[in-house]
Amino acid sequence: MFGSWVKNTQHRNSDIDLAILSHQPLPGGLLATLREQLEESTIPYRVDVVDLSAASPEFQERVNREGIVWIDS
């Protein structure tokens, strides 16, 4: 998890930023399915999900520096 919710700077319209870290890029439709399920969920905030293994090195560094582990299983 990263972004405004981690920094405690969120506001009423802030989304929740999640990064999925895996050893290889997520399979094609998995990220789209996850986003769709989150969109249809009862979570009262928009959730933005990124595949960290497919992100730029600069973005990965930012998430690693600022982010927190939300679930580690």
- The CA distance from 5 to 15, in Å, is 8
DSSP count for the chain of H helices, then E strands: 3, 2
- The CA distance from 17 to 48, in Å, is 5
User: Which of the residues are catalytic?
Assistant: 15, 17
